[in-house]
Amino acid sequence: MKNPFDEKKLFTLSKDFLNDHYQGTSEQRLRDLVHVLKFHEWKYAVENNPLISDFEYDQLFKMLQQLEDEMPNLIDPSSPTQRVTSDLVDDFTTVQHLTPMLSLANSYNAEDLNSFNDSVIKLLKLEPGSAVRYTVEPKFDGGTIVLVYENDRLVRAATRGNGERGDEITHNVKTIRSVPLEAAFSKYGITRCELRGEAIIRKEEFVKINARRAKEGDLIFANPRNAATGGLRMKDPRETARRGL
């Protein structure tokens, strides 16, 4: 995925904020902080290449929080501060997917694969015995999520469910820093779209989470997949944020 940010400009802005060299009105300061934090979220969560320390990120985040407290009328729904809320979810609402989600079939032996290959040849109306080239890749193993964007903003997130309907988990998915709260689909004439993906916990992050849980006296997780799936359905989004999805 192409980096949509002006890296040089936003990195310089970051240093201006951190070194107290920023020049601009309070409103400009707030808007620039939003852009700067979105950029660093991208570098950290999408490119896995952070340019500033966690401490520096937290400093910028607190600056933005303070300005938003002073000017609540200027809070952007896509602001990084709006990812984690204190809303507790008693029951998850079931929602209809825009289009059904199909399932992948398992294969356990060569006979299964040959049968699949025959089906592909038939579907493509090729001659029997034709050679078909396949691309194979590892599958990320976590919890499937379905995102709906309207007018460039994330408006809903849901679990896979039964493929037709899933549980709404918007508050929890917003805590995942690699999920954009807004995206410029309108540039391509798209006003509404549905994206599917896998919410995962990286192995190195999983080790850190279990170490923290052991230190705090909590039960450690058995594997990253179950921890990720369970994290999506936490009733408190702040607990989801602690899963490092």
Residues with catalytic function? 139
Burial level of 158, CB count in 10 A (0-12/13-18/19+)?
buried
Whole-angstrom distance, CA of residue 14 vs CA of residue 35: 10
Whole-angstrom distance, CA of residue 3 vs CA of residue 11: 14
| SS3 at position 194 | strand
Whole-angstrom distance, CA of residue 157 vs CA of residue 97: 10
DSSP H helix total and E strand total for the chain:
8, 5
Polymer length in residues for the chain: 245
Q: Helix 26-41 and helix 54-70: axis angle, to 10°?
A: 140
DSSP labels for 63-113? Answer: HHHHHHHH-GGG--TTSGGGSS-----SSPPEEE-SSPPPPPPP--SHHHH
